[in-house]
Amino acid sequence: MKPSDIRFLSEYASAPHLIGQVYFSDNLPSPPETAVQVHFQRLDIVVDGKLLIETGSDTGQHTRFHLNQGDILYTPANCWSIALPKKPVTILSVQVGKQSFGLTMKLWDGEQFSDLQDIHILRRGPRTGTFILQSIEELHWHQKDQSTLRLLFSSLFSHILDLYLNPPDTLSRGKALFEAVRDYLEQHYHTPLTREAVAQHFYVSPGYLSQLFQKEGKLKFNEYLTHIRLERAKYLLKEYDMTVKEVAHRCGFNDSNYFCRVFRNQTARSPSEYRTQYRSHL
């Protein structure tokens, strides 16, 4: 990361008042073809210039926000947005992976976006970032509390800066590969992944990948992938009024009947029963 990028992180971490308005995107209606829909949390902060951005909303309507310097758009998992820049603008984008934060400085020069810098900062160690992000997710439904949101994002930037300046100990080669594969599964679970395809992506044999998961993850590869998909399905069932078929499709299950069988086997409830029981408790 360049010193200028560190400066931005440091400024936002030490001075919450530099953070402007915080906006949230949603996943309704279905994203247009040109939209960016992420399957992990992401935030974009305007560090220079202005940006017009279009997102989904919980009302099912397209929404447009005018982001000024210091403003943040927070995009939860499975939500979407479209950047509609009219003048040059610089954006710091933070992608939240299970094992790392991906930081990208993007510049719109009037014709196209280009990445000025792209790094990954390992998240191993205290789960501080996870708890901050959970609090931000809770305030998705209480966006009027902008003061608290600014403090939370300032804390998140401070945490990322600390991880960058004080990186965790280097992992063994096998452990590092396992963490990289797990992060890959967390970000691509919605696609038709197979053990063979993932092994090929990381230039290892399928047999070695299986051994790695047995040793480091204490689970088989397919068991771990199913766990990730089911956890995401639970979230979608609780937070959105999608059909069971749509939830299955978004979580990487092509066959909704198979999804229902696997879900019941793991939870002793059907997806519909799970949603009903959760909302009755609320």
- pLDDT score for 126: 66
Q: CATH fold of 173-281, please?
A: Arc Repressor Mutant, subunit A (1.10.10)
Band of the pLDDT at 5, cuts 50, 70, 90? Answer: low
Q: Worst-scoring range by mean pLDDT, 16-20, 170-174, 213-217?
A: 170-174
Cβ–Cβ under 8 Å, residues 167 and 160: no
| Distance separating alpha carbons of residues 81 and 36, to the nearest angstrom | 6
* CA distances for 174 relative to 12, 24, 26, 40, 161, angstroms: 36, 38, 37, 25, 27
pLDDT at 4: 53
The beta-strand segments (E) located in the chain are 22-24, 36-37, 41-48, 51-55, 63-67, 72-75, 80-83, 89-96, 100-108, 113-122
Average pLDDT on 200-204 reads 91
What is the predicted pLDDT for the residue at 128?
A: 86
DSSP, residue by residue, 152-184:
HHHHHHHHHHHHHHSPPPPPPHHHHHHHHHHHH
Q: What is the model's pTM? A: 0.66
> What pLDDT, on a 0 to 100 scale, did the predictor assign at position 179?
83
pLDDT tens digit sequence for 134-153? 899 989 888 999 999 999 99
Overall size of the chain counted in residues: 282
Q: Where are the domains of the chain?
A: 3-165, 173-281
Closest residue by Cα to residue 224 from 258, 257, 266, 254: 266
Mean pLDDT across 234-254? 90
CA distances from 61 to 41, 157, 182 (A): 21, 31, 34
